[in-house]
Structure 1
Amino acid sequence: MTENLRTSVSSGPVIRTVGLTRHYTRNKSTVEAVRGLDLEVAPGELVAFLGPNGAGKSTTLRMLTTLIAPTSGTAEVAGHDVVRERAAVRRSIGFVGQGNAAAHQQRGRDELMAQARAHGLPRSVARTRVDELLAAFDLADHADRPVSTLSGGQRRRLDVAIGLVQEPPVLFLDEPSTGLDPQHRANLAEQVQRLNREHGTTIVLTTHYLEEADALAGRVIVIDHGQVIADDSAPRLKSALGDLVVLGFGDAGHAVAAAERADRWSGAHVTVTDAEVRIRAAGGRELAPGLVADLAIAGTPAQRVEVVGPTLDDVFLDLTGRSLRDGGAADQMSTDQTEQGDTEGAAA
């Protein structure tokens, strides 16, 4: 059935949204969690949604996985409408949310086995798959303990294993590595990349970890205040911003003179603070040696030179004027809690 599904969606986007919108009411005010999202994801893509708390990342995933309904707009996953064909969507996807997926009194091995059988795996195949996942996520020694006795990191790894049990053709991961130590975060990245590379699994994940999005995703979608503000590969997003060249001088006069010369660079953004010049420019790493030599010849030699490549956080700062690491703005900080409460209410 999985192979048939992959074939059926291969001719078009596996995920498509048009004007996807979700509003909440909080304290008699309307919160626009997602605003008119237009999105297409091709089969086999590995996409990261990047943005601060309250940006709308988790709300988008909850709509795409049928946990909450859109306020307006449409969305299709694996060729099925998320409102009219909820059951078909759920059969086509795996989902790892932010909350604990396993029952607290259930043993980890039993929970995985139950999930595998529920997805139609024959008992022998299910047993093999469960053993693979327990080994892959370093849970074999803890598999027969009640979930309630596991540590936070162990439970998170079990959550991820549950989401991967049927190797779904479309996989959604909502902050999957939160709470994991660096070793297990790297292991999770390896599992995700293997699914994408070897099985052609379409994967959409949300993350706060810039390095994770940079290393994993072939495509990064930056979301802020419920809207897409950038959509490209991480290397292209960073290349468009350019390198940061920092020059230190003996006095402010030399810094001003250096800034005037640096202004000749096409597209360069130059700032001066006391005796330091900061230049953001595409190809800054290649241009810096020539500028340093020119300044020395002009009698204003730089005493310190530093070139730093751009990060995704720099991209976000350039787009919004604030850092991803700082989190969302004050009026957005409680949106995730509102989203979670709405989800729980719908489930009840």
Structure 2
Amino acid sequence: MSSTRTRPAIAATGLRKSFGDQVVLDGVDLSVPAGTVFALLGANGAGKTTTVRILSTLLAADAGDVRVAGHDLAREPDAVRAAIGVTGQFSAVDNLLTGEENLLLMADLHHLPRAEGRRLAARLLEQFDLTDAARKPASTYSGGMRRRLDLAMTLVGDPRVIFLDEPTTGLDPRSRRNMWQLVRDLVAGGVTIFLTTQYLEEADELADRIAVLDRGRVIAEGTAEELKRRIPGGHVRLRFADEQGLDAARRVLGQVSRDGDALALRVPSDGSLRSLRALLGRLDDQAVQVDELSVHTPDLDDVFLALTGGPTDEKVTIR
């Protein structure tokens, strides 16, 4: 494996930013592996957009060391800009131009030869399912179409790192899922995605790793499953064919609780394969027959609530 592949696409240490007396980022450390989706999860005002603006050279940090696509942010900002693309919360699409004209304008800004620009625009229109609307004004596009066009415009520069700042805000469920598939396709092609989102489902669905940002600090980081296992409340539900089987399991397992009036027990568990093997081994050793087993772990909603210490519906939007 090449050093380029193993080197983090984004590495930030001690990132700090204040606006007057308000501390927005308070010593943020991030490491994003190349060719992955990294989600920065947080409420409005947590510092997500400020982080993206700093990492994409749009805002200077007060302190911290940052490398993006192998380039030092402070010493090589032009090299960083050449390697990245940014799609913000608000579309950069020009409403007066058609979809095709927006793409051709981006090709001109990247100094591509006219013929190459037209070929690229046609390919991107097809890739993002916009061919039929290519010559219609962008003002007539739906929200999902505008977001797809915005992302297509970002790809004109062939970026290796793309910052998506809350890219599905305001989209309907179908458009959101279409955007998710586009993200997966980009990552499959080797692009690194730095995603900020308020939607817990979005981070769970897309991200290889998630960092939870709260009041300017990263308070937790890991895969979705790792974060979920940190929160109490996970359990295995065991259902039995009769009372005898349930009573036998209760004697073997000890600290368990009955699940309502059902012939079922709730056994505390982190949901890991190792703990499941141990549980089933104990039951098997005593010849206890289990009719049905299901694993229940906290979701990212529970994780966010536990980590930030506030009501989830005041912190994030669940869609």
**Shared topology, TM-score over 0.5?**
yes
Hey, what does 2:219 align to over in structure 1?
229
1:137-148 map, 5 Å = 137-148=128-139
Distance 2:90 2:108 in 1: 22
State how many pairs are aligned: 295
What is the Cα deviation at residue 246 of structure 1? 11
| 1:171 to 1:217, Cα distance in 2 relative to 1, 3 A | same
Q: 1: CA distance between counterparts of 2:146 and 2:103?
A: 12
**What amino acid is the match of 2:129?**
D
User: Quick one: structure 1 residues 315 and 99, their matched pair in 2 at CA, closer, same or farther if it must change by over 3 Å?
Assistant: same
How has the CA–CA distance of structure 1 residues 228 and 123 changed in structure 2, closer, same or farther, with 3 Å as cutoff?
A: same
Partners in 1 of 2:155 and 2:25 — Cα distance?
A: 27
Q: Give the SS at the match of 1:315.
A: helix
Q: Answer yes or no: is the 8 Å Cα contact 2:235–2:270 preserved in 1.
A: no
TM-superposition CA deviations, 1:250-272 (whole Å, max 9, x none) = xxxxxxxxxxx9xx75xx9x9xx
Greater shift in the superposed pair: 137-146 or 119-128: 119-128
**Pick from 281, 306, 317: which aligns with 1:318?**
306
Go from structure 1 to structure 2 and tell me whether the alpha carbon gap of 1:243 and 1:129 turns closer, same or farther (over 3 Å shift): farther
Separation in 1 of the partners of 2:78 and 2:197? 27
Residues 281 and 245 from structure 1, CA distance in 2 versus in 1: closer, same or farther, beyond 3 angstroms?
Answer: closer
Residue 309 of structure 1, CA deviation: 2.9
Q: In the alignment, which residue of structure 1 is the partner of 2:167?
A: 176
Q: Deviation digits for residues 308-333 of structure 1, max 9, x if unmatched?
A: 432111111121222444227xxxxx
Q: How far apart are 1:42 and its partner, in Å?
A: 2.4
Question: Using the alignment, how far apart are the partners of 2:156 and 2:135 within structure 1?
Answer: 17
- Whether 1:15 and 2:10 are equivalent positions in the alignment is yes
* 2:297 aligned partner: 309
Code of the residue aligned with 1:309 in structure 2: it is T
Q: Distance in 1 between matches of 2:3 and 2:69?
A: 8
Distance verdict in 2 for CA 1:9–1:324, change over 3 Å = farther
Report the counterpart of residue 55 of structure 2 in structure 1: 64
1:86 aligns with 2:77: yes
Kindly provide the CA deviation profile for residues 39-75 of structure 1, in whole angstroms up to 9, marking residues without a partner as x: 2222222211111111111110100001111022221
- Native 8 Å contact 2:162 2:193 kept in 1: yes
State the partner residue of 2:152: 161
Q: Which residue of 2 aligns with 1:296?
A: none
The 3 A distance-change label for structure 1 pair 145 and 228 is same
Q: Is this contact kept in 1: 2:99–2:136, CA < 8 A?
A: yes
CA distance in 1 between partners of 2:3 and 2:95 (Å): 38
Q: 1:21 to 1:141 in 2, by over 3 A?
A: same
Say yes or no: does 1:99 pair with 2:90. yes
Query: Could you tell me whether the CA contact under 8 Å between 2:6 and 2:33 is conserved in 1?
Result: no
Task: Measure the CA separation in 2 of the matches of 1:280 and 1:313.
Answer: 19
* Gapped regions of structure 2 (runs ≥ 5): 238-250, 258-265, 284-293
Q: Which runs of 5+ in 1 are unaligned?
A: 1-6, 248-260, 271-277, 294-305, 329-348
Secondary structure of 1:104 counterpart: coil
Go from structure 1 to structure 2 and tell me whether the alpha carbon gap of 1:36 and 1:312 turns closer, same or farther (over 3 Å shift). same
Contact 2:270 2:297 in 1 (8 A): no
When residues 24 and 308 of structure 1 are mapped into structure 2, their CA distance, relative to the original with a 3 A threshold, is same
Q: Distance in 1 between matches of 2:16 and 2:197?
A: 21
CA shift digits 1:177-236 (9 cap, x unpaired): 1222222222221221122112x1111111122122112111111111111111111122
Matched to 1:17, the amino acid is A
Q: Aligned pair in 2 of structure 1 residues 309, 128: CA closer, same or farther (>3 Å)?
A: farther
Root mean square deviation of aligned Cα: 4.0
In structure 2, what is the Cα distance between the partners aligned to 1:66 and 1:98? 17
Distance apart, 1:135 and its partner CA: 3.1
The sequence identity of aligned pairs, in percent, is 45
- Mapped to 2, the partners of 1:163 and 1:173 lie a distance apart of 10
Contact 1:101 1:159 in 2 (8 A): yes
Q: What SS class does the counterpart of residue 75 from structure 2 fall into?
A: coil
Tell me the SS of whatever aligns to 1:241: coil
